[in-house]
């Protein structure tokens, strides 16, 4: 059996959580492979909206094994809050949630370092969520980090204090004021809570599941254009968000990869700093933001909005090996007489449809094509034959340009507002 991967193709917030939730009944295992509580996967069903940050989006399906892989970083404080919120909805995550022993822990001092580093940048801030993600991955690559498996060791406190001392020395350099004593009680409460979950060697479990013929879906966080290597650096996250990250973040070999499901919005959004070629800093952008409720699920920050960017999508498809496309928020564009699509860039005056090294607006200008919009309310639609003709044409245009089929279209936040095209 092959492992399927679901990931975002833009700058995050594409609707990954909802789609994983919709697809979960088709899979026996859902596994997160990177990122941490900087993710915000929103799920809506039965009149309830729930946001997951660390826990896989298959958690509402008790028959699914949910795994937090080795590539994920876990904040024990936020993790406990997530579990408590699930409990209020009658979900006992202890039954089907498993944590990789090799997943790294976010310490309170990681969050302090994140805040201190971002504050020191002044006007050059990268737009960090301030969740301690970057400093945790830095400790991971620097071979200093603490992992889930370490919390069961008798010398855990000694290891913790050693790492905290290192962080305090770094914080002194920033001349950053903080009170660690206010943060540690909740952290250690979270650590104790983590000890009550199933800790596994996820690479062994996942490969055993695949060998046994079980269907496994790897769930990505953030978006491909935020990848540490291939995103719009330095305005990126600290992990590999692309399909290759599933191999390193779960311990699954490349030959085990099956379908790669790429999610994109019918338009583009971005949270925080960084270049955004198709951004609409006008009434149209604000209209999309209001209709689409474009505010960060993790930070609450307003998302920047713009037209669909085909060169960026082609790039994401290329580096991920995408086999199927899923378009979300088609309903948000209802009411626009004309829908624009970026088909190429002018880079230093030369037209190209390839994603360049630098997408700084000083050097890159988008080239747009106008397509007919649609006025119909899509939120009640449940089949392809109910789509307005201009929306069908929009989808066909995208498929022809990207040479990958669109297999699912979302027309609202609820599970039921998800239409399979093939």
The residues assigned a catalytic role are 13, 41
Residue with tokens 């609707």: 15
The DSSP code for 177 is -
- H or E stretch at 21: helix 16-23
Q: Please enumerate in sequence order all residues whose Cβ is within 8 A of that of 263, keeping only pairs 6 or more positions apart, or say none.
A: 6, 7, 8, 9, 14, 15, 16, 19, 325, 326, 327, 328
Spatial distance between the Cα atoms of 416 and 340, rounded to a whole number of angstroms: 28
Tokens (6 digits) for 408: 């699912």
Residue with tokens 């970057």: 134
Give Rg (Cα) of the chain. 21
Given a contact cutoff of 8 angstroms between Cβ atoms, the answer to whether 199 and 148 are in contact is yes
Spatial distance between the Cα atoms of 193 and 197, rounded to a whole number of angstroms: 8
Name which of 163, 179, 183, 135 is nearest 38 in CA terms.
135
Angle CA(226)–CA(393)–CA(15) in degrees, nearest 5? 30
Name which of 89, 30, 6, 22 is nearest 413 in CA terms.
22
- H or E stretch at 98: strand 97-100
Name which of 358, 116, 126, 72 is nearest 236 in CA terms.
126
């Amino acid at each position: 059996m092959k492992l399927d991967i679901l990931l975002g193709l833009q700058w995050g917030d594409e609707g990954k959580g909802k789609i994983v939730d919709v697809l979960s009944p088709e899979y026996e295992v859902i596994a997160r492979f990177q990122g941490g509580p900087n993710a915000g996967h929103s799920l809506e069903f039965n009149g309830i909206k729930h946001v997951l940050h660390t826990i896989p989006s298959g958690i509402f399906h008790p028959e699914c094994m949910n795994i937090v892989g080795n590539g994920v970083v876990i904040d024990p404080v936020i993790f406990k809050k997530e579990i408590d919120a699930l409990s209020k909805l009658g979900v006992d995550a202890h039954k089907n949630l498993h944590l990789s022993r090799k997943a790294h822990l976010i310490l309170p001092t990681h969050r302090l370092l994140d805040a201190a580093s971002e504050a020191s940048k002044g006007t050059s801030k990268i737009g960090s969520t301030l969740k301690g993600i970057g400093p945790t991955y830095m400790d991971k690559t620097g071979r200093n980090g603490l992992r889930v498996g370490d919390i069961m060791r008798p010398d855990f406190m000694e290891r913790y204090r050693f790492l905290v001392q290192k962080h305090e020395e770094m914080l002194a350099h920033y001349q950053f004021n903080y009170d660690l004593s206010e943060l540690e009680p909740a952290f250690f409460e979270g650590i104790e809570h983590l000890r009550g979950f199933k800790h596994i060697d996820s690479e062994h479990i996942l490969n055993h599941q695949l060998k046994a013929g079980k269907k496994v879906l790897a769930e990505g966080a953030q978006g491909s254009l935020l990848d540490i290597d291939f995103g719009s650096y330095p305005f990126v996250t600290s992990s590999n968000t692309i399909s290759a990250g599933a191999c390193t973040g779960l311990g699954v070999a490349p030959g085990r990869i099956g379908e790669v499901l790429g999610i994109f919005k019918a338009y583009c959004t971005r949270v925080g700093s960084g270049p955004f070629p198709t951004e609409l800093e006008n009434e149209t952008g604000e209209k999309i933001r209001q209709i689409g409720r474009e505010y960060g699920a993790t930070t609450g920050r307003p998302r920047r909005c713009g037209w669909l960017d085909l060169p960026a999508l082609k790039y994401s498809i290329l580096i991920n090996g995408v086999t199927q496309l899923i378009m979300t928020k088609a309903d948000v564009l209802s009411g626009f007489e004309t829908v624009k699509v970026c088909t190429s860039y002018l880079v230093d005056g030369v037209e190209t449809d390839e994603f360049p090294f630098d997408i700084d607006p000083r050097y890159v200008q988008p080239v747009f094509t106008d397509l007919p919009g649609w006025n119909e309310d899509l939120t009640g639609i449940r089949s392809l034959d109910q789509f307005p003709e201009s929306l069908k044409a929009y989808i066909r245009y995208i498929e022809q340009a990207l040479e990958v089929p669109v297999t699912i279209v979302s027309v609202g936040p609820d599970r039921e507002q998800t239409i399979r095209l093939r």
